[in-house]
Amino acid sequence: MQLGTPDICDQYREKLQVFPPVFKSYGGCKSVAAQIETLKIYQDNAMFWEVLRQPGLGRVLFVDAGADYSAVMGDKMAVIAVENGWYGMVINGYIRDTAIIKTLPLAVWALGSCPMKGTMVSEAKLAVNLSFQSINIEPGMYVYADEDGVLLSQETFTEFDDIFNQQHRLISKN
């Protein structure tokens, strides 16, 4: 039996925030359990590139791109994320190059896809509290995500970590 986000909800309901079902899964990994980092941008993905070039340390990057309809991430950024040890991303915005991204050992959730990338004209802020989709997100929280949904918690549920990251390890070896 495969355990997933429904099992976490059954056991830890009071300790969770559950995202509404607006995010689509695009990565090659369909589940992830990791600590998070946060980034706030608007159409400008220059800082996003910079963050992905830093050691990911098995974390998931939450990016608030303001749900603007332009892509803030593509295949080249996804490859850099994998090379630097990021496990995944949850993007309040859009991505492109989805056919390639789904082949990578990376968990990616976004609002959708858009072939047009944004401009590089605005500021970005790293390691800030975010709020999107009525969810409050802080650096250092923990994410548990799979095909059933995206969950956030202030604490880790270690009994689920290996199960959620098993696919990541298998794809990474190939």
Instruction: Decide: 54 and 81 in contact? Cβ < 8 Å.
Output: no
Does residue 172 surpass a pLDDT of 70? Answer: no
pLDDT value of position 38: 97
On the 0-12 / 13-18 / 19+ scale of CB atoms within 10 A, 136 is exposed
Instruction: Decide: 119 and 32 in contact? Cβ < 8 Å.
Output: no
Does residue 169 surpass a pLDDT of 70? Answer: no
Tens of pLDDT, residues 61-107: 999 999 988 999 999 999 999 999 999 999 999 999 999 999 999 99
pLDDT value of position 149: 93
DSSP 8-state assignment for residue 157: -
The pTM assigned to this predicted structure is: 0.90
Task: Give the bridge partners for 109, in sequence order.
Answer: 25, 90
The model's confidence at residue 53, banded by pLDDT at 50, 70 and 90, is very high
Residue 133 one-letter amino acid: Q
Residue 13: partners with Cβ closer than 8 Å, 6 or more residues away = none
Tens of pLDDT, residues 120-167: 666 788 888 999 888 999 999 999 999 999 999 999 998 888 877 776
CA distances from 157 to 96, 112, 113, 154 (A): 32, 29, 31, 10
pLDDT value of position 166: 74
∠ CA 118-55-4, nearest 5°, is 85
